[in-house]
């Protein structure tokens, strides 16, 4: 089957029930998406599927054939960071940063839908993403920096 990841087509010959996260990380060497729980509970593996934030660890590859899959590696264009990455770089919210990819992907999806979210909207959209280092308030501030509310 063919997976379209960051605009590139990849021929993958695996069972359709294999999780997308494992394929991204182990077959396609796109290790920016992280494993944190394997059950959709932490958001470390968040990718966009046709623009919708999805947990790659509970998404089967069979279900995403022909869809646009975007991972953290697909945000940077020609060496320039995505505006959300740029805002995160500027505000430097993280500690260990293991949650960073998932946080940024969820934030990108949120801001695509709602360029000027309220604090409550940010919390609702981001609540599936865990930062065990507890940098939540920094992350909210980084998202605000990336948003139209400045």
Q: 88 is written with which tokens?
A: 């995160």
- Tell me how far apart the alpha carbons of residues 120 and 122 are, in angstroms, rounded to a whole number: 5
Q: Outline where 5-118 has alpha helix (H).
A: 20-22, 83-91, 100-113
Q: Which of residues 13-52 bind another protein (CB under 8 A)?
A: 14, 18, 22, 25-26, 29-39, 41-42, 44
- Residue 149 has a CB neighbour count (10 Å cut-off) of 12
CB of 42 closer than 8 Å to CB of 33:
no
- Write each residue from 106 to 145 as x if it is in contact with another protein (CB under 8 A), else as -, in one continuous string: ----------------xxx-xx-xxxxxxxxxxxx-----
- Which is nearer to ligand FES, 130 or 146 (by Cβ)? 130
- Tell me how far apart the alpha carbons of residues 1 and 34 are, in angstroms, rounded to a whole number: 23
By a kind-dependent CB cut-off of 5 to 8 A, residue 1 interacts, out of another protein, ligand FES, none, with none
Which chain residues interact with another protein by CB under 8 A? 14, 18, 22, 25-26, 29-39, 41-42, 44, 71-73, 75-76, 81, 85, 88-89, 92-101, 104, 122-124, 126-127, 129-140
């Amino acid at each position: 089957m063919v997976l379209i990841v960051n605009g590139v087509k990849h021929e993958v010959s695996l069972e359709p029930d294999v999780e997308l996260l494992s394929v991204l990380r182990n077959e396609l060497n796109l290790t920016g998406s992280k494993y944190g729980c394997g059950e959709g509970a932490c958001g470390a593996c968040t990718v966009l599927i046709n623009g919708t934030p999805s947990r790659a660890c509970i998404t089967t590859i069979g279900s995403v054939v022909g869809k646009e899959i975007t991972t953290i590696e697909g945000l940077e264009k020609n060496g320039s960071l995505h505006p959300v990455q740029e805002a995160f770089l500027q505000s430097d919210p993280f500690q260990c940063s293991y949650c960073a990819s998932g946080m940024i992907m969820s934030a990108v999806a949120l801001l695509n839908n709602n360029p000027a979210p309220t604090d409550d909207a940010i919390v609702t959209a981001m609540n599936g993403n865990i930062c065990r280092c507890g940098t939540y308030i920094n992350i909210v501030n980084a998202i605000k920096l990336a948003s139209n509310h400045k």
